[in-house]
Amino acid sequence: MSELPCLVGVGVDSDEIETIAARWGFRTVADVESSDVVLIAKPDRLQLERLLTKHPPYALMETPSPTKLFGKRLRQAIARKGLFLSLSTCAAFHMEIASLICSCLCQRIPLCQQKCFDVETALGEALSNAMVHGNLDVASALRNNPADFGLYCDLVNQRLATPLYANRRIEMLATWSAKGLEIEVRDEGRGFDISNVSTLPHIEAKCGRGFSLIRELTRSVTLVNHGRGLKMSFEP
Amino acid sequence: MEHTVRSIADGKEVVLTGRLTFADHNGFRSVIAMFQEPGNKRFVLDLSGVEFIDSAALGMVLLARDTAISKGVSLVLKGARGQVKRIMEVAKFNKLFVMED
């Protein structure tokens, strides 16, 4: 019988950790150093930075974690020794997670500086689309002219303060091999319609550049989960 | 993103530092509001301290440009480097802005 993956909680009640471990087949451990999966309450950037300097853990998940998180992508991250992250939008929004994830990946995979820029840029675009347009459900058209920009700012701030939007999850799974790096970003929004971005944006466009930029910087990009996910692959 | 402002001949120089991303909408709002103040003929955005920019922030720089044009103010982008320079090249910003080293 293969050994169960190890679970640790940071700032999470030990009874809760034991319950989750029993339900989903984990072995609880006392320290982060020997864990495969970390459940963390109210994470901040410094904590994540510290946790991500070590590898394993292969997964970091903010609590309370919905049951659907203990599924395929988490198992994939553990089996392939990748990295799975699941955070609420309000926690992730101001954390600059693209840079956090990218510096963590750069420690594990040999990437030249140019490639690091490309991965961080593409990942940043995927995450901001997922958070702003997916989970917060704010249309980018409001960034089209200076008169509407104030409205855009107010709406983003308001949604970040509304649990219905702010608690929606953002997920990232990265796996890598000699064939390259694959990153999947998922949100809980309405789903992105690719037909809106079939043409290149106008040079003066204030929005709609993100997806074109991703296309330009990745080996391939595909929409998954009815437009609520984006799978990007990069050359090694 | 952090920003500081200093007076220059005919206008203002705004020095931006850190990372310019979608999460900086509130910071950009105050920068754009500054463009609407009367009495300036020239604005310089100093990007030499910016380490990263995303497409949402590019859009916000373009909003600043629209505001500047509507107020008859000239806008110069100064000192873009690294990833910022690369992304601005991809976005062909040299066709829209005066770019200084």
Amino acid B70: pLDDT: 92
Chain A partners of B55 at a C-beta cutoff of 8 Å? 125, 128, 207, 209-210, 213
A203 — pLDDT class (breaks 50, 70, 90): confident
pLDDT tens digits for range B19-47: 999 999 899 999 999 888 888 999 999 99
Distance CA B47, CA B29 (A): 17
Predicted confidence (pLDDT) per residue in A151-186, tens digit = 999 999 999 999 999 999 999 999 999 899 999 999
Mean pLDDT computed over A109-114: 84
Q: Would residue A143 count as lying in a domain?
A: yes
Whether the predicted pLDDT of A198 surpasses 60 = no
DSSP assignment of A118-145 equals: HHHHHHHHHHHIIIIIIIS---GGGGSS
Query: Do residues A27 and A4 make contact, with C-beta atoms less than 8 angstroms apart?
Result: yes
Is residue A205's pLDDT more than 90? no
pLDDT of residue A114: 84
In this prediction the ipTM stands at 0.84
Q: Is the pLDDT of residue A194 over 80?
A: no
Instruction: Decide: helix, strand or coil at residue A212.
Output: helix
Question: CB under 8 Å to B92, separation ≥6 — which residues?
Answer: A203
Instruction: Determine the structural domain holding residue A178 and report its residue range.
Output: 6-234
| Residue B56 in contact with partner chain A when CB distance is under 8 A | yes
Residue B90's pLDDT is: 86
Q: Which of B29, B58, B95 sits opposite A149 (nearest CB)?
A: B29
Test B22 with A132 for CB contact under 8 angstroms. Answer: yes
Q: CA of B19 to nearest chain A CA: how many angstroms apart?
A: 9
Which of A73-77, A79-83, A205-209 comes out lowest in average pLDDT? Answer: A205-209
In a domain, A1, yes or no: no
Please give the helix or strand (H or E) that residue A14 lies within, else none. Answer: helix A14-24
Show the CA angle centred on residue B72, arms to residues B31 and B44, nearest 5°.
45
Nearest chain B Cα distance for residue A89, angstroms: 12
Across the interface, of A120, A128, A145, the residue whose CB is closest to B22 is A128
Question: What is the average pLDDT value for chain A, to the nearest integer?
Answer: 90
Q: pLDDT value at position A73?
A: 94
Q: Domain residue spans in chain B?
A: 2-100
What pLDDT does A202 receive? 79
Which amino acid is it at A190? R
Using CA coordinates, name the residue in chain A closest to B97.
Answer: A204
Q: Could you say which of A120, A146, A207 has the minimum Cβ distance to residue B66? A: A146
pLDDT in tens, A126-145: 999 999 999 999 988 888 88
- Size of chain B, expressed as the number of residues it contains: 101
Can you read off the two tokens belonging to residue B1?
Answer: 């993103």
Q: Please state the domain count of chain A.
A: 1
Per-residue pLDDT at A1: 46
In this prediction, what percent of chain A has a pLDDT beyond 70? 96
Q: CB–CB of A189/A134 below 8 Å?
A: yes
Kindly tell me if the per-residue pLDDT of A197 is higher than 70.
Answer: no
pLDDT for A181 equals: 95
Q: What is the pLDDT of residues B49-77, one digit of tens each?
A: 999 999 999 999 999 999 999 999 999 99
User: Is it the case that residue A232 has pLDDT exceeding 60?
Assistant: yes
Q: Distance between CA atoms of A104 and A112, rounded to whole angstroms?
A: 14
Residues contacting B40, CB < 8 A, separation 6+: B10, B11, B12, B71, B73
Residue B25: enclosing H or E segment and its boundaries?
A: helix B25-35
- Segment holding B83, helix H or strand E: helix B82-90
Beta bridge partners of A27: A6
Element (H, E) at B42: strand B42-53
- Is pLDDT above 70 for A2? no
Question: Does the B2-100 domain belong in CATH 3.30.360.10?
Answer: no
> Across the interface, do A145 and B66 touch by the CB < 8 Å criterion?
yes
Cβ within 8 Å of A, B 26-55: 26, 28-29, 32, 52, 54-55
Residue pairs between chains A and B whose CB atoms are closer than 8 Å: 83
pLDDT digits (tens, 9 = 90+) for A20-66: 999 999 999 999 989 999 999 999 999 999 998 888 999 999 999 88
A6-10 and B74-78 beta bridge pairing: unpaired
Q: What is the dihedral of CA A32, A33, A37, A40, to 10 degrees?
A: 20
pLDDT at B48 over 60: yes
Distance from the A16 Cα atom to the nearest Cα atom in chain B, whole angstroms: 33
Whether A197 contacts A142, CB under 8 Å: no
| Phi/psi of residue B7, nearest 5 degrees | -80, 140
Q: What CATH number corresponds to the domain at position A137?
A: 3.30.565.10
